[in-house]
Amino acid sequence: MKFYWPAIALIILGIFIIVSPWTIAPVCEVNGMYAKLTSGKDFPMPCGWTVRAELGIGALVVVAGILLAFAKSAEAKMMVGIFGAVLGLLVILFPTVITKMCALADHPCNILTKPLLIILGLIVIIVSGWVIYTSRNEMGKDG
């Protein structure tokens, strides 16, 4: 019962992680900004690769929410919570460390997308941390 709100929250957060870099806080690619190769071909900038990775991570956050909605045991809920916390960390690490964003600070990806992804990742970690804490307490009552 008490795990439905975090399950719904994770599903909604996952959808925001998937959609927001292409709509609400668009990366450079959405604005028609690409890197030019010496051959003259357009190539996505680092922010384009970051949001492609975030598509997969966001989808996994949605899956975590669905798994949490159907988890029965405290151990399963805790594992989903750990999974969600790791995903939240990845949401933050991709734009900041792994693939990063564009080098220029005035690009849309640095002004909007990166801060939004960091905030969404932090919220995923907080929700998942609550799931871990609550399921741990639930396990303590059973044992």
Q: What are the residue boundaries of the structural domains of the chain, listed by start?
A: 4-142
pTM: 0.90
Please give the Cα distance from 97 to 17 (Å, whole number): 17
Residue 142's pLDDT is 59
CA-to-CA dists, residue 3 to 26, 41, 62, 68, 72, angstroms: 32, 49, 15, 7, 10
pLDDT score of 28: 84
The confidence score (pLDDT) of residue 19 equals 97
Which residues of the chain are under the pLDDT cut of 70? 1-3, 142-143
Q: Looking at residue 25, what is its pLDDT?
A: 92
Question: Which residues pair with residue 46 across a beta bridge?
Answer: none
pLDDT, residue 103, reads 87
Specify the pLDDT at position 137. Answer: 86
3-state secondary structure of 35: strand
